Amino acid sequence: MAERTNRDKKIPLHTGIIMDGNGRWALSRGMPRALGHKAGMEALEKTVDNAHSLGIRYLSLYAFSTENWKRVPVEIEALMGLFRLYLKNKIEKLHSRGARIRFVGKLEAFAPDILEGVRYAEEYTGGNTEIDIIICVNYGGRQEIVDAVNRLMVDPPGGPVTEELLRSRLYAPDIPDPDLLIRTGGEFRMSNFWLWEGAYSEYYFTDTYWPDFGMKELERALESYAGRERRYGAA
């Protein structure tokens, strides 16, 4: 994958983040989990600015997985409330920074007012070219591949299915594969994030809970990435 060079350092063109640890961050402070997600949204906002200033061109954030519907209704409601708040209050600031925002996942599961906000935000910021912010909501890597296969079945190719063809039916085939995938919160798993696209991503794991993830930690992740040799299976 292509990389950008910034101050003589290799910068990942696309960085993805699994924002884990909001609940534990809140509980460790005697606060309800919902307040952890609120703090997580603030961390997300700061990370967009930090990523932009470090030269990251595509930043994807795993905000709600296809499995997160299993959480208790009060937590799901809190997350939907934050989603609404984000769409209502944060899009103008993103636009003023030249950010293009996109939402990736099975979006039809969301309430009509959220869908309208999503459409507006994507259209309003669609011409911006400073940084692409990809918010993955109701996203699951397996579901994405299943959806791609179903799209192929509706419109079958004349010949064999190739990697390129299947890729072209994924949710956002124009976004370059993630070069670097970061997971906060101390767990060592990918939890169904970018399964196809992350085949050759470099991973960075940190114990830091997502609300505490700041510029220093992002720089540390990029430092680690810059020191790696990517061979894509070659010797």
Residues that bind ligand FPP (CB under 6 A): 19-24, 37, 40-41, 44, 63, 68, 79, 82-83, 86, 135, 185
Catalytic, 212? Answer: no
Q: Which is nearer to ligand FPP, 114 or 175 (CB)?
A: 114
CB nearer ligand FPP, residue 66 or residue 169: 66
Of 6, 68, 128, 192, which residue is the catalytic one? Answer: 68
Closest distance to ligand FPP from the beta carbon of 21 (Å): 5
Whether 155 is catalytic is no
Q: How far is the CB of 227 from ligand FPP (least distance, A)?
A: 28
Using alpha carbons, select from 150, 20, 53, 172 the residue that is nearest to residue 103: 172
Q: Provide, rounded to whole angstroms, the least separation between the CB of residue 211 and ligand FPP.
A: 8
| Between 21 and 141, CB nearer to ligand FPP | 21
Residue nearest to ligand FPP (CB): 23
| Nearest distance, CB of residue 186 and ligand FPP, angstroms | 9
Residues identified as active-site: 20, 68
